[in-house]
Structure 1
Amino acid sequence: MIILIFFLTHWFLSLFSQTFFLHRYASHKMFRMERFWERFFYAFTLIAQGSSFLNPRAYAILHRMHHAYSDTEKDPHSPHFFKDVFGMMIATKNMYLNYLRFKIEPEPAFRGKYPEWPLIDRIGDSWFWRVGVALLYIAFYVTFATHWWMYLLLPVHFLMGPIHGAVVNWCGHKYGYSNHDNDDHSKNSLPLDFLMLGELFQNNHHKRPNSPNFASRWFEFDPTYPVMKMLHWMRIIRIRKV
């Protein structure tokens, strides 16, 4: 039970940091927040994603490209140009590293207005951090695991951020239903998207990319949106009017 609680806690905290900070804030600027809170959620993302920390700048560039070139050959992670999800993940990783290491420059339309904190970026991308956090995960499992099969969950902890991205981009552009004709293959994979905190409402999101609520029909529910409303009410963030 302890291992399951730990796994689910890591899954949803990492996923929240990705959808709230990397996706809705860094990539789309759906809301504003003061520098203190931006740094708070930057550090929160480092801790929540742990060994799989994703750089907000590189993430934002790739995601903006994804919207501009959705399901075309220029899309950095469309499932319709790869044989399997692993090929897509490897290609996305290579492009991500090119932007992370400043080996290539993005088009002007995809630059700027993303949060940057060089210290956290260096820590999160260091082998010291990635291996150190991975060892902490292993130590937790050694202490609390009661069956051998529980150790099969460890690779998910190590690659949590990329796995979330792969699930969203593969499933969200292959399986499900469409509310809107977006001239791409985006789908809504789950009517009640608790498992991915609203991220699998891809068809809705591609129709209205700056809307903070990814749900659009009465039976759809985006779990992250009420959290954003609460943070707006608490004046931690200020949601943009769309």
Structure 2
Amino acid sequence: MAIIFLLIIHWYSSLFFQSVFHHRYAAHAMFSMTKGWEKAFYIGCYLTQGSSYISAYAYAILHRLHHAHTDTKDDPHSPGNSSNVFTMMWQTRNNYFNIYSGKTNVEEKYKTGLPRWDAFDKIAHSPISRVAWCGFYVFLYYLLAPSGWYYLLLPLHFGMGAIQGAVVNWLAHVVGYVNFKVNNTSKNLIPLDFIFWGEAYHNNHHKFPSRPNNSVKWFEVDAGYLAMKLLNQLKIIKLRTQK
């Protein structure tokens, strides 16, 4: 039971930072915060994503390119450009690392207003750091796993951030329901999104990419937006006006 609890905590804490900091703050500037809080969120990303740490700067550029070229050959992660979710994950990984390393020539308009902490990224992004985190997860399982079968869950911890992004970016362009007609294949993956912090309302998001609240229908609940409202009330962030 302790292992399942650990997996749930890791899932939702990692997803919180990818949804709120990487996606809604870095890529879409749905709220503002001080540089001090920005660095705190960087550290939070590292502590929760661990071996699958993602640079907010590189992620934001990747995601902005996705919105600019959705479902075309220039989309850095579209199911239409891959035969299955695993090839899409590999393509996404290559595009992400090319952006992070500067191998991809990115237009300045996609870099505007992005958070950036190169010194921290260099440490958090290093192979040594990733291997150390993997070792830490294995150690936790050594302490907590009641049987060897539980070790089969370790890959979820190793690739947590990448897996969360892949599920939404693949499935939410393949299955689900549509609230709005848009010029791409984006769909709302599930009507009650208690799994992806509201990121599963992908069709709604592609219709209103700058809107802080991804929910539209009465039954849709965007946990990420509720979290941002709380952070706004605590004056940690300044939320942009809802449109």
TM norm structure 2: 0.98
Residue 112 of structure 1 deviates from its aligned partner by 2.5
Q: Report if aligned partners of 1:71, 1:78 keep a CA contact under 8 Å in 2.
A: yes
| Equivalent runs, 1:61-210 vs 2, <5 Å | 61-210=61-210
Q: Distance in 2 between matches of 1:206 and 1:192?
A: 18
Q: Distance in 2 between matches of 1:234 and 1:39?
A: 17
Query: Helix, strand or coil: the match of 1:214?
Result: coil
Q: Which amino acid aligns with 1:25?
A: Y
Residue 26 of structure 1 deviates from its aligned partner by 0.5
Q: Which residue of 2 aligns with 1:213?
A: 213
Once the two structures are overlaid, the 10-residue window that deviates more, 151-160 or 116-125, is 116-125
Once the two structures are overlaid, the 10-residue window that deviates more, 126-135 or 105-114, is 105-114
| Equivalent runs, 1:36-47 vs 2, <5 Å | 36-47=36-47
**Residue 236 in structure 1 maps to residue 219 in structure 2:** no
Q: Which residue of 1 aligns with 2:15?
A: 15
Q: Distance in 2 between matches of 1:196 and 1:43?
A: 21
Residue 81 of structure 1 deviates from its aligned partner by 1.8
Q: Which residue of 2 aligns with 1:34?
A: 34
Q: Report if aligned partners of 1:171, 1:200 keep a CA contact under 8 Å in 2.
A: no
Q: Which residue of 1 aligns with 2:224?
A: 224
**Count of residue pairs the alignment pairs up:** 242
Q: Distance in 2 between matches of 1:72 and 1:105?
A: 18
Query: Helix, strand or coil: the match of 2:236?
Result: coil
Query: Helix, strand or coil: the match of 2:226?
Result: helix
Q: Distance in 1 between matches of 2:158 and 2:184?
A: 32
Q: Report if aligned partners of 1:215, 1:221 keep a CA contact under 8 Å in 2.
A: yes
Q: Which amino acid aligns with 1:127?
A: P
Divergent runs of 4+, >3 A = none
Identical residues among aligned pairs (%): 46
Unpaired runs of 5+ in structure 1? none
Q: Distance in 1 between matches of 2:127 and 2:184?
A: 38
Q: Which amino acid aligns with 2:33?
A: M
Q: Distance in 1 between matches of 2:8 and 2:96?
A: 27
1:188-231 CA distance string (max 9 Å, x none) = 01111111111110000000001111101111111111111111
Q: Distance in 2 between matches of 1:112 and 1:135?
A: 37
Q: Distance in 2 between matches of 1:3 and 1:164?
A: 19
Q: Distance in 1 between matches of 2:194 and 2:81?
A: 28
RMSD (Å) for aligned C-alpha atoms: 0.9
Query: Helix, strand or coil: the match of 1:96?
Result: helix
Residue 109 of structure 1 deviates from its aligned partner by 2.3
Unpaired runs of 5+ in structure 2? none
Query: Helix, strand or coil: the match of 2:122?
Result: helix
Query: Helix, strand or coil: the match of 2:157?
Result: helix
Q: Report if aligned partners of 1:2, 1:144 keep a CA contact under 8 Å in 2.
A: yes
Q: Which amino acid aligns with 1:7?
A: L
Residue 105 of structure 1 deviates from its aligned partner by 2.0
Residue 108 of structure 1 deviates from its aligned partner by 2.5
Once the two structures are overlaid, the 10-residue window that deviates more, 105-114 or 72-81, is 105-114
Q: Distance in 2 between matches of 1:113 and 1:53?
A: 21
Q: Which amino acid aligns with 2:2?
A: I
1:72-99 CA distance string (max 9 Å, x none) = 1111111122110010011111111111
Once the two structures are overlaid, the 10-residue window that deviates more, 218-227 or 24-33, is 218-227
TM norm structure 1: 0.98
Residue 120 of structure 1 deviates from its aligned partner by 1.5
